[in-house]
């Protein structure tokens, strides 16, 4: 099943596994109108979470927080979602 990434107009992004682009758009409707965002598929997507040290409420919340992305995922997200930021970061790193 393909994994779709939707880059929303405000720079946020969502990931959803769906059998087709149409199904992904339908699922992403929970967040906003995905037809207004940039939707594309990715391969080798990896994200990891860690348990929270403290939880404010036990209702409706998983006790985890984002720890990071796999190397290929990180590079792919930079390239496709934040290309301007990637370019600026690359230029700043060269000057060091």
Report d(CA 14, CA 85) in Å as an integer: 18
Query: Which residue matches tokens 């590079």?
Result: 75
Report d(CA 41, CA 24) in Å as an integer: 10
Report d(CA 13, CA 81) in Å as an integer: 8
pLDDT per residue as tens digits for the range 66-81: 999 999 998 888 888 8
Please give the pLDDT value at position 86.
Answer: 78
Please give the pLDDT value at position 59.
Answer: 75
pLDDT per residue as tens digits for the range 19-62: 999 999 999 999 999 998 899 999 999 999 999 888 777 777 78
Helix (H, G, I), strand (E, B) or coil at 26: helix
């Amino acid at each position: 099943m393909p994994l779709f990434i939707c880059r929303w107009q405000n720079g946020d992004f969502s990931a959803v596994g769906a059998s087709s682009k149409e199904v992904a758009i339908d699922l992403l409707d929970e967040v906003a109108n995905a037809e207004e965002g940039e939707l594309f598929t990715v391969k080798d997507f990896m994200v990891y979470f860690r348990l929270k040290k403290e939880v404010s409420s036990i209702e409706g919340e998983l006790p985890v927080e984002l720890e990071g992305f796999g190397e290929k995922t990180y590079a792919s997200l930079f390239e496709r979602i934040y290309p301007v930021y990637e370019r600026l970061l690359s230029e700043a790193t060269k000057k060091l």
